[in-house]
Chains A and B, each alone.
Chain A
Amino acid sequence: MTTLLKVKQLSKSYQQRGLWLKKESFTVLAPTSFSVEAHKTLAIIGEAGSGKSTLAKILVGAEPASSGQIYLNGQLLQAGSYKQRCQHIRMIFQDSGTTLNPSLTILQLLDEPLKLNTPFDEKKRKALIRTTLQKVGLLGDHMNFYPHMFSGGQKQRISLARAIILQPQVIILDEALAALDPSLRSQMINLLLDLQQQMGLAYILISHNLGIIRHFSDDLMVLSQGKVVESGKTLEVMNNPQHKVTQKLLMNQNFQLKLRKK
């Protein structure tokens, strides 16, 4: 297995005007290093304010990092090179309904990244959109619909289509499964797993639901107050949590579901 994404000493801190012209810095993410391989899923858990969303934003390029480097396929990603980055690292957000522009049809929505990033002509773009929609379990004719005509689960599929249309290598799922109903959520998990096998995608999954993480991910990273407190193989960490924060998170989840099967 080749290492797809490698992060070295990535950190983020904000400058705050303190007393007497002194600038106080406020660290959101302490220097963090990790790597993700193709076909693998890295899960990130942590409490609110532990810096997991910040990490996702930095990786996708929505926020600049204070220090550190991100390597994709061994190549350094420059801070301003969005062209390169947005082709290979894509993100799906929690609330799919609000991330789709309501005044554009699905065709226009999916056409936008293609226009900006590929040299294809219109015919080829349309064909690609059709196959991508079929790949996520929708019909090709859905491209003429507007977002409000779809249900919540279908909207999430459209965001997924928008994410995979550029043949990316890494997809970041920031609580992308939390807002879905249980029966649609398991459909979505199946779809994501299928796509991972077909396309060799690497996922970075940010989630609260430890059941999904256990099922879905290979590696697990626990963040607390901007620091990585524990990381390793998902099953090993879950079966034998070392740090207090991990133990607390796991204990809370066990409360939610006491297995009644004896």
Chain B
Amino acid sequence: MNLLDIRNLSIELVHDDQNILAVDKVSLSMKEGEVRGLVGESGSGKSLLAQAIVGVLDDKWHVHADRFHWRGIDLLRLSIEERKALLSRDIAMIFQEPMACLDPTTTIGEQLAEAIDANSLTGFFWQKQQQRHSASIKLLHKVGIKSHSACLNSYPHQLTEALCQRVMIAIALARRPILLIADEPTAAMENSNQVQIFRLLASLNQLKNMSILLISHDLENITHWTNTITVMYSGQFVEAGTTNQIFNKPLHPYTRALVDSSPSANFHLPAKSRLMTLPGSIPILQHLPIGCRLGPRCPRAQQACVIAPSVTNFHGHKVSCHFPLMPIKAPCVSKRNC
């Protein structure tokens, strides 16, 4: 059974004269214990999608979905309170921009203690207080902060961005979530710290069977750590498949361009040669092209691309393109024909 199953989720920004479709019919499914990467450039709606899953978008965003299941429970049928109770127990999220997301007026210690599950504490209130304290120290150690007392007593502005990011991760891990949504967890960090954080997430995935939705704008950064990858462009679904499929046999021209444009993925290229790239820039929300939004930049675009393509499934490798890079054979019905 799928952990998370979302079908055709759309997010609309309600505006005075016209509504803007920021995310257009994106499907996402996650299995238990899976690390899925969600890749897209800025403005691709990947953070919006994550926020819609957790349910923290405000009123001006309208979210519709054909199906929204969490471990077999239809979330669309629950009331808002029930849904919140369920999701806040099972899902945790690491937000982008840790400095902006932590409360600037309280110390890290208080914010961390607040996140710890009250049900896990026993005894009288002074004992609970102590348990909270030791639990928050343990969490800090887990995310690699050694000087816990200095960290607990300081305010967010006194710490560096990378330390704040680690505190955010500690807060997210406090309730032992089943699904962790990590929205650019290593954006503010250096390479060596990035690897540490990814290793931590990978070990949690393996030891605690925690599923992770890893959101990043850079394909090459996360390929080592993911099982499956979903690619988005400008609010539309592009391609989904295993990391190997996406990286070595991309079907969509956009994914192909992403892989080809990364110099670290193309070791055979001579130094200082021209990199393969898509012309133009990412469309802004006010001026989205109709149909396939990659259309104006796509090297394979034809007339049919003014209509948004439907998703084709090819042995679990899903692609949304009229003219994919490899001819897709129709999936055979019986094994004898193959």
What residues make up the interface of A, taking CB atoms closer than 8 Å to B?
47-48, 151-154, 181-187, 189-190, 193, 208-212, 214-216, 218, 234-235, 248-249, 252-253, 255-261
Contacts and interface: CB of A to CB of B under 8 A. Distances in A.
Identify which of A215, A235, A261 gathers the most chain B CB atoms within 10 Å of its CB: A215
B264 A182 contact: no
Contacts of A255: 195, 198, 224
Contacts of A258: 223-224
A260 B243 contact: yes
Given A184-B281, A258-B223, 4 more contacts: A181-B282, A189-B263, A211-B265, A260-B243
Contacts of A181: 41-42, 217, 282
B217 A211 contact: no
Nearest to A184: B281
Interface stretch (B135-143, B269-277, B301-309): B269-277
Interface of B: 41-42, 190-192, 194-195, 198, 217-221, 223-224, 243-244, 247-248, 257-258, 261-265, 267, 269, 271-278, 281-282, 284
Contacts of B247: 260
B264 A208 contact: no
Which of B244, B265, B284 has most chain A Cβ within 10 Å?
Answer: B265
Nearest to A258: B224
A183 B258 contact: yes
B154 to A, nearest CB: 19
A151 B42 CA distance: 10
User: Is chain A's interface secondary structure helix, strand, loop, or mixed overall?
Assistant: helix
Contacts, number: 109
Contacts of B198: 255
A80 to B, nearest CB: 34
A190 B271 contact: no
20 contacts: A151-B281, A182-B218, A183-B261, A183-B282, A186-B277, A187-B277, A190-B274, A190-B275, A193-B272, A214-B263, A215-B263, A216-B272, A252-B191, A256-B264, A257-B220, A257-B223, A257-B264, A260-B223, A260-B247, A260-B248
Contact of A259 (B267, B269, B274, B281): B267
B42 A211 contact: no
Nearest to A190: B274
A234 B244 contact: no
A185 B261 contact: yes
A1 to B, nearest CB: 15
Contact of B217 (A182, A189, A235): A182
Nearest to A254: B224
B278 A183 contact: yes
